Amino acid sequence: MTQFETEIYLRYKQIIESQGMGTSVCAGSESPAPRYTHMEDLLDRYDAFCFDGYGTLYNRGSFVYEGALDWYTMLRAAGKQMRLITNAASDVDSVLAADAAKRGFAFSEAETISSGSLLKELCVELRSRRIGASFGVRRDLREVYYIGRETGKHVLESCGIKAVAPAAEPVEPIVAISSAKETPETYEQAVKILKRPGAMLLVLNSDAWAPKIPGDDGVTVREPVSGALSERLRRDSMCEANGGAGCETFYLGKPFPAIWEKVKRSLPEGSRVLMVGDTLGTDVLGAKVAGFDSALVVGRNVPADELETDQNVLGIKPNWYL
């Protein structure tokens, strides 16, 4: 990981621990070392299998990782509970499920749980102001300054929120980020808004780095995404108006607790659950927050030669390597 990526995931961990979720977060030196295994060897250990989408099962376009469809077919045939747990906030869950189905992964809408789907509940809390630093100050939350894919506006619209024009400012100083689609102009405008008193940043996709589709040489290149953009904005928003602390920031999706509570509500009580993903700081850390076991797909968002160092720096390790 880069230093910046490390700082982001350590911040996530610190936030979770400050919310009282820290007892299950730290891996601890006494934890057994993860072992490399195959999906078929895990069938009898778990009742439910949760999968990250991008970087684990598939990537942009129609790209599907080798062996991923075999996992899916095997688990369906075995009658296992399956869930797609994604930090993608590029559209509503019904569309994300349909996109996965086009690649061969027929997750239903009910089996698809995205970070964007958590925005409705957050809006209810902010509009009644039951959470946050300025507890009691309600937000109208009818418009925001938005950076992300055009289809991500569907997530906002489902919550009664309008994205203002790129050169405009919302009535309330609120910026929402769903992917790293900024330009120098939109970035400058977002920072300007976030320096206003009482500004708020909504991070609809907390992923800091993500793997691109492997090149012809088989090498996977990683790139900073929405979580990294959001952290840059948070830091650049630090000013006199907010006491140098930066804008108030809310994170949706993995590794934070809300998405795991939604996953648990969707599964039969007492299920033995495995989370399968490609990222230590979201999938593996998040599984620990949920109390689930985890399996890390090595070599995509965590290069094999950086694995041990990254685990030690973050203090996080999975139960299994795939």
pLDDT tens-digit readout, 58-89: 999 999 999 999 999 999 999 999 999 999 99
The share of the chain scoring above pLDDT 90, in percent, equals 88
**Of 204, 235, 251, which residue sits at a domain end?**
251
CA distances from 272 to 86, 105, 112, 275 (A): 20, 22, 19, 10
Q: How many CB atoms lie within 10 A of CB 20?
A: 8
3-state secondary structure of 21: helix
Per-residue pLDDT band for 218 (boundaries 50, 70, 90) equals confident
> So what's the pLDDT on residue 138?
83
**Of 228, 251, 274, which residue sits at a domain end?**
251
Interstrand relation of 200-203 and 143-147 (parallel, antiparallel or unpaired): unpaired
Which residue is listed with tokens 């330009």?
A: 183
> So what's the pLDDT on residue 202?
98
**Of 193, 219, 251, which residue sits at a domain end?**
251
In terms of pLDDT, which residue wins out, 8 or 18?
8
Domain of residue 133 covers 117-251
To the nearest whole number, what is the mean pLDDT of the chain?
Answer: 94
In a shared domain, residues 183 and 122: yes
pLDDT tens-digit readout, 11-27: 999 999 988 765 455 54
In a shared domain, residues 210 and 173: yes
Phi and psi at residue 31, in whole multiples of 5°?
A: -65, 140
Query: Of all helices (H) and strands (E), which one includes residue 189?
Result: helix 184-194
CA dihedral 289, 310, 249, 171 (to 10 degrees): -130
In a shared domain, residues 128 and 188: yes
In a shared domain, residues 200 and 262: no
Residue 162's beta-bridge partner residues?
Answer: 143
CB 316 within 8 A of CB 280: yes
In terms of pLDDT, which residue wins out, 88 or 28?
88
54-58, 133-137, 220-224, 251-255 — which is least confidently predicted?
133-137
Residue 28 confidence (pLDDT) above 80? no
Does residue 16 fall inside a structural domain?
no
